[in-house]
Structure 1
Amino acid sequence: MGTFRIEGGHQLHGEITPQGAKNEALQILCAVLLSAEKITINNIPDIVDVNKLISLLEDLGVKIQKKGKGTYTFKADDINLDYLQTDQFKQDGRGLRGSIMLVGPLLARFGKGYIPKPGGDKIGRRRLDTHFEGFIKLGAKFRYNREEYFYGVEADKLKGTYMLLDEASVTGTANIVMAAVLAEGTTTIYNAACEPYLQQLCKMLNRMGAKISGIGSNLLTIEGVESLGGTEHTMLPDMIEIGSWIGLAAMTKSELTINDVSWDDLGQIPNAFQKLGIQLERRGDDIFIPKHENGYEVQNYIDGSILTIADAPWPGLTPDLLSILLVVAIQAKGEVVIHQKMFESRLFFVDKLIDMGAKIILCDPHRATVIGHNFQSTLKATTMVSPDIRAGVSLLIAALSAKGTSTINNIEQIDRGYENIDERLRAIGAKIVRV
C-alpha cells in the first residue's frame, strides 16, 4: 500500500495543465469496439483505471499501439469473444467500474456482451438497471448468474425503439447509445444524460458514421447504421482535476494558473467556487487564481439564508467535486451546507477532516454543514487513509494547507484518477513525497 508524506503550510506558485478526462476516457475507449477500422485517440490520461481498461481491450484482441504521450491507436478487427467467458476476464472486469461500458459495443457489433459486477469506489450504491433495461428495450435477452455475479445480454439483431430512462445516468446513456448506433431503425432516448463527455462520445460516433441528433440535450435520436469506420478523437481536459487545482490554490493562498481548461465545457464549476468567495479570472482558455491573502467569504442567498451547494445532473454541478468544495469551505468565512444527493457514502471521509480541526457537522449520509475558520485556525497534520479517488484528493488538499507533516495511506485510490500527481504538485512548489 503506497503512502504520500506531505509537509503542509507552503504557498504554491506557477502553472499546471490538467490531464485528459478520466470519465470521458472510459467511454471513448469502449467505443473502439464498434469498428474494425483504426481509431486514434489523443490526450488519454496515464492513470490506473484507464490503463486497466486498455489492458482489458488488449486481452479482448484489440490491436493497440502507443504513438506518443497520451496518444494511442486502436484496431478491433479480430476480437476474441471467448475471453469474455474466462476466469481472467471475470477477475479483471470486476476491478474496474468503467468495464460496464464494454457491454453496449460488444452487444451491438457481436450480438453478446458479458460483464462481472464491477468494482470501483466505495462511495455508495451505483445501480446497473438503467444499462440493462435499455438493452432489453432494444431487444436483448438478459441473464444473470447470481453465484458468480456475472451479467450477460444477447441478441441476434437489436431493433430501435423509444425509451424513457429512469435516471439520467451518464454511463447508462453512453452504453445504450453505443448499442443503438448499430441497431435496426430509430432509437429515441429521453431523459438522456447530456454532460460534455457524453457529447464528446456522440460527436466521435458521428465522425465514425453514426447518425445521432439532439447532442447536448436530454432527448437523443439515433438512426441505426450498418457499420462504423475509423476516426481521430482528442479528449477534453478533466473538469474534476481543474476543480481540484482551484480548491488547492484557494486553501493554500497560492497564485496559480490552470492551462487549457476548455472553459466553455466547465458548466457550473467556476460558479460553485465563486459562491464560496473564490476569485477566478478567465485568461483566454486558462483560469488564473490570485493569492487569497485576505481569505474568501461564502456568498449567502439574497435573503440571508445559509448557502447550500448540491450536485445535480448536467448542466448542474457534478457530484465528483463536492468533496473538494467541502474541504475548501473549511477555511471560508461563513457557513455552507454540502448536499451530496447521489452517493450515500461519499461524505464519510469528513471524520478525518474533523480530526485535523475542521468544524463540520455530518447531518446524515448525504449532508454536511461546514463552519468556516476564515484562516483564524490552521488545520493540524495527521495520518489518513484515502477511501476513494475524490476524497483522497480532498484529504491531500487539506494536508497541503495544514500545519506539520501529514501521511496519506492507500494512495492507489488517488492514482486511479490523477496522473503523476506528486510530480506535478512538486513542480509548483508542494512538499510531497511518495513513500
Structure 2
Amino acid sequence: MGTFKIEGGHQLKGSIQPQGAKNEALQILCAVLLTPEKVTINNIPDIVDVNKLIKLLEKLGVKIEKLSKSTYTFQADEVNLQYLESDQFKIDGRGLRGSIMIVGPLLARFGKGYIPKPGGDKIGRRRLDTHFEGLIKLGAKFGYSREEQFYGVEAKKLKGTYMLLEEASVTGTANIVMAAVLAEGQTTIYNAACEPYLQQLCKMLNRMGAKISGVGSNMLIIEGVDSLGGTEHTMLPDMIEIGSWIGLAAMTKSELTITNVSWNDLGIIPSVFRKLGITVEKRNDDIYIPAHTDGYEIQSFIDGSILTIADAPWPGFTPDLLSIILVVATQARGSVLIHQKMFESRLFFVDKLIDMGAKIILCDPHRATVIGHDFKSTLKATTMTSPDIRAGVSLLIAALSAKGTSTIMNIEQIDRGYENIDERLRAIGAKIERLD
C-alpha cells in the first residue's frame, strides 16, 4: 500500500496543465468496441482506472498500439467473446466501475454483453438499473446470477424505442446511446445526461457514422445505422482536476495558472468557487488564481441566509467537486452548507478534517455545515487514509495547507483518478514524497 508524506504550509507557484478527462475516457474507450476499424484517441490520462480498462479491452482481443504518452490506437476487429464467460473476466471486470460501459457496445455489435458487479469508489449505492432498463427497452433479454453477482443481456437485434430515464445517469446514458446507434429504427432518450463528456461521446459516434441529434440537451434522438467506422478523437481536460487545482491554490494562498482548461466546457464550476470568495480569472483558455494572501470570504444568499452548495445533474454542479468545495471552505471567512444529494457515504471523510482542526458539523449522511477559520487557525498535520478518489485529493489539499507533516495512506485511490500527482505538485513547489 502506497503512502504520501506531505510537509504542509508552503506556498506554491507556477502553472499546471490538467490531464485528459477520466470520466470521458471510460466512455470513449468502450466505444471502440462498436467498430472493426481503427480508432485513434488523444489525451488519454495515465491513471489506474483508465489503464485497467485498456488492459480489459486488450484481453477482449482489441488490438492496441501506444503511439505516444497519451495517444493510442484501438482496433476491435477480432473480439474474443469467449473471454466474457471466463473466470478471469469475472475478476478483471470487478476491479473497475467503468467496465459496465462495455455492455452496450458488445450487445449492439455482437448480440450479447456480460459484466460482473463492478467495483470502484466506496461512496454509497450506485445503481445499475438505468443501464439495464434502457437496454431491455431496446429489446434485450436480461439475466442475473445472484450467487456470482454476474449480469448479462442478449438480443438478436435491438430495436429503437422511446424511453424516459428515471435518473439522468451519465454512464447509463452512455451505455444506452452506444447500444442504440446500431439498433433498428429510431430511439428517443428523454432525461438523458448532457455532461460535456457525454456530448464528446455523441460527437465521436457521429464522426464514426452514427446519427445522433439533440447533443447537449436532455433529449437525444438516435437513428440507428448498420455499422460504424473509425475516427480520431481528442479528450477534454479533466474538469474535476481543474476544480481541484483551484481549491489547492486558494487553500495554500498560492499564485497558480491552470492551462488549457476548455473554458466553454466548465459550466458553473468557476462561479461556484467565486461564491466562496476565490478569484478565478479567465486568461485566454487558462485560469489564473492569484495568491489569496488576505483569505477569501463566502457569499450569502440575497436574503442573507447561509450559502448552500449542492450537486445536481449537468448543467448543475458536479458531485465530484463537492469534497473539494468542503475542504476549501474550512479556511474561508463565513459558513456554508454542503448538500451531497447523490451518494450517502461521500461526506464521511470529514471526520479526518475535524481531527485536523476543521469546524464541520455533519448534519446527516448528505449534509455538512462548514464554519471557516479564515486562516486564523491553521489545520494540523495528521495521519489519515484515503477512502475514495475525490476525498483523497481533498485530504491531500488539506495536508498541503496544514502545519506540520501529514501522512496519507491508501494513495492507490488517488492514483485511480490523478496522473502522477506527486510529480506534478513537486514541479510547482509542493513538499510531497511517495513512500512504498
In 2, the alpha carbon distance for the partners of 1:389 and 1:280 equals 24
| 1:358-369 pair list within 5 angstroms | 358-369=358-369
The yes-or-no answer on 1:17 pairing with 2:17 is yes
- 1:149-201 residue CA offsets vs partner (Å, 9 max, x unmatched): 00000000000000000000000000000000000000000000000000000
Q: Which residue of 1 aligns with 2:40?
A: 40
One-letter code of the match for 1:425? L
- 1:114-146 residue CA offsets vs partner (Å, 9 max, x unmatched): 000000000000000000000000000000000
Q: Which residue of 1 aligns with 2:407?
A: 407
In 1, the alpha carbon distance for the partners of 2:237 and 2:23 equals 10
Q: Which residue of 2 aligns with 1:177?
A: 177
In 1, the alpha carbon distance for the partners of 2:377 and 2:262 equals 36
State the TM-score, normalizing by the size of structure 1. 1.00
Shift of 1:293: 0.5
In 2, the alpha carbon distance for the partners of 1:401 and 1:85 equals 49
Name the SS of the counterpart of 1:68 in structure 2: coil
In 2, the alpha carbon distance for the partners of 1:353 and 1:32 equals 42
| 1:274-293 pair list within 5 angstroms | 274-293=274-293
Q: Which residue of 2 aligns with 1:2?
A: 2
- 1:267-326 residue CA offsets vs partner (Å, 9 max, x unmatched): 010011000000011000000000001000001001100000000000000000000000
Q: Which residue of 1 aligns with 2:70?
A: 70
One-letter code of the match for 1:195? E
Name the SS of the counterpart of 1:115 in structure 2: strand
Shift of 1:428: 0.1
Name the SS of the counterpart of 2:91 in structure 1: helix
In 2, the alpha carbon distance for the partners of 1:228 and 1:365 equals 45
State the TM-score, normalizing by the size of structure 2. 1.00
In 2, the alpha carbon distance for the partners of 1:95 and 1:148 equals 15
The yes-or-no answer on 1:206 pairing with 2:206 is yes
One-letter code of the match for 1:245? W
One-letter code of the match for 1:108? A
Name the SS of the counterpart of 1:422 in structure 2: helix
Name the SS of the counterpart of 1:24 in structure 2: helix
In 2, the alpha carbon distance for the partners of 1:336 and 1:427 equals 32
In 1, the alpha carbon distance for the partners of 2:168 and 2:118 equals 20
Q: Which residue of 1 aligns with 2:301?
A: 301
Q: Which residue of 1 aligns with 2:398?
A: 398
Unaligned residue ranges in structure 2 (runs of 5+): none
In 2, the alpha carbon distance for the partners of 1:31 and 1:335 equals 44
Shift of 1:40: 0.1
Q: Which residue of 2 aligns with 1:321?
A: 321
In 2, the alpha carbon distance for the partners of 1:378 and 1:331 equals 8
Q: Which residue of 1 aligns with 2:27?
A: 27
Q: Which residue of 2 aligns with 1:385?
A: 385
- 1:391-431 residue CA offsets vs partner (Å, 9 max, x unmatched): 00000000000000000000000000000000000000000
- 1:213-252 residue CA offsets vs partner (Å, 9 max, x unmatched): 0000000000000000000000000000000000000000
The yes-or-no answer on 1:106 pairing with 2:97 is no
Q: Which residue of 1 aligns with 2:371?
A: 371
Q: Which residue of 2 aligns with 1:220?
A: 220
Shift of 1:345: 0.2
In 1, the alpha carbon distance for the partners of 2:240 and 2:69 equals 21
One-letter code of the match for 1:422? D
In 1, the alpha carbon distance for the partners of 2:74 and 2:244 equals 31
Q: Which residue of 2 aligns with 1:186?
A: 186
Shift of 1:93: 0.2
Shift of 1:17: 0.1
In 2, the alpha carbon distance for the partners of 1:415 and 1:50 equals 11
Q: Which residue of 2 aligns with 1:350?
A: 350
Name the SS of the counterpart of 2:188 in structure 1: strand
Name the SS of the counterpart of 2:24 in structure 1: helix
One-letter code of the match for 1:283? R
- 1:89-119 residue CA offsets vs partner (Å, 9 max, x unmatched): 0000001000000000000000000000000
In 2, the alpha carbon distance for the partners of 1:292 and 1:412 equals 31
In 1, the alpha carbon distance for the partners of 2:238 and 2:229 equals 27
The yes-or-no answer on 1:58 pairing with 2:58 is yes
In 2, the alpha carbon distance for the partners of 1:280 and 1:365 equals 30
Shift of 1:210: 0.1
In 2, the alpha carbon distance for the partners of 1:119 and 1:19 equals 23
Name the SS of the counterpart of 2:67 in structure 1: strand
In 1, the alpha carbon distance for the partners of 2:194 and 2:126 equals 19
Shift of 1:69: 1.4
Q: Which residue of 1 aligns with 2:140?
A: 140
In 2, the alpha carbon distance for the partners of 1:63 and 1:81 equals 14
Name the SS of the counterpart of 1:287 in structure 2: strand
In 2, the alpha carbon distance for the partners of 1:343 and 1:273 equals 21
Structure 1 segments of 4+ aligned residues over 4 angstroms from their partners: none
Q: Which residue of 2 aligns with 1:167?
A: 167
Q: Which residue of 2 aligns with 1:86?
A: 86
Q: Which residue of 2 aligns with 1:333?
A: 333
One-letter code of the match for 1:2? G
Shift of 1:38: 0.3
Q: Which residue of 2 aligns with 1:197?
A: 197
In 2, the alpha carbon distance for the partners of 1:415 and 1:131 equals 27
| 1:117-128 pair list within 5 angstroms | 117-128=117-128
Percent sequence identity over aligned pairs: 86
CA RMSD of aligned residues (A): 0.2
Name the SS of the counterpart of 1:256 in structure 2: strand
Name the SS of the counterpart of 1:314 in structure 2: coil
